[in-house]
């Protein structure tokens, strides 16, 4: 009886050790698209990199309300706010359009309501995780000088 009990305890212990292996990983890795559409993205900061120097623009209290939503149907909505007589108001020039991810690039086509005008953006996805979306793109400033802008969104 004693040997049977000892064998039973040994078998149960081995079974538990094998089934509770620390290498088991039941987590599911989300795709870039699933992360992008999972919640609202609120602006944290933005700025430009000129040469190798980063120049951050200070967000006003109203700009901190700016956000962007991406939908599963590949449409997006972006809203910007500004200060008017000590009150934050929506600028009513909401950007809507379509989006797609190609590799590490977010491509957006902004369609301005009431016009046939479209703006096409191709932004580098510098970081995309459950809490951060950092986009950057090269462009030229008003004087024709090259610069890279970046925008950091958080949840």
Q: What is the pLDDT of residues 37-96, one digit of tens each?
A: 989 999 999 898 777 777 888 887 888 888 999 999 999 999 888 888 888 888 766 689
The whole-angstrom separation of Cα 124 and Cα 49 is: 14
**Distance of alpha carbon 27 from the chain centroid:** 20
First to last CA, the chain: 61
Tell me the pLDDT band of 131, cut-offs 50, 70 and 90. very high
**φ, ψ at 63 (rounded to 5°):** -65, -25
**64: Cβ contacts below 8 Å, ≥ 6 apart:** 42, 43
51-85 as b/e: b if 16+ CB within 10 A: eeeeeeeeeeebbebbebebeeeeebebbbbeeee
Q: Please tell me the pTM assigned to this model.
A: 0.74
Candidates 152, 155, 135; CA nearest to 59 is 152
């Amino acid at each position: 009886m004693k040997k049977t009990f000892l064998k039973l305890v040994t078998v149960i212990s081995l079974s538990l050790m094998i089934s509770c292996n620390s290498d088991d990983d039941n987590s599911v890795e989300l795709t870039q698209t699933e992360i992008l559409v999972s919640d609202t993205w609120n602006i944290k900061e933005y700025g430009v990199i000129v040469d190798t120097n980063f120049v951050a623009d200070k967000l006003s209290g109203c700009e901190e309300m700016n956000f962007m939503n991406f939908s599963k149907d590949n449409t997006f909505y972006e809203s910007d706010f500004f200060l008017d007589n000590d009150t934050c108001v929506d600028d009513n020039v909401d950007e809507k359009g379509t989006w797609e991810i190609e590799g590490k690039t977010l491509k957006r086509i902004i369609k301005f309501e009431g016009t046939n005008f479209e703006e096409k953006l191709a932004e580098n996805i510098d970081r995309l995780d459950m809490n951060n979306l950092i986009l950057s793109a090269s462009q030229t400033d008003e004087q024709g000088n090259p610069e890279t802008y970046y925008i950091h969104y958080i949840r």
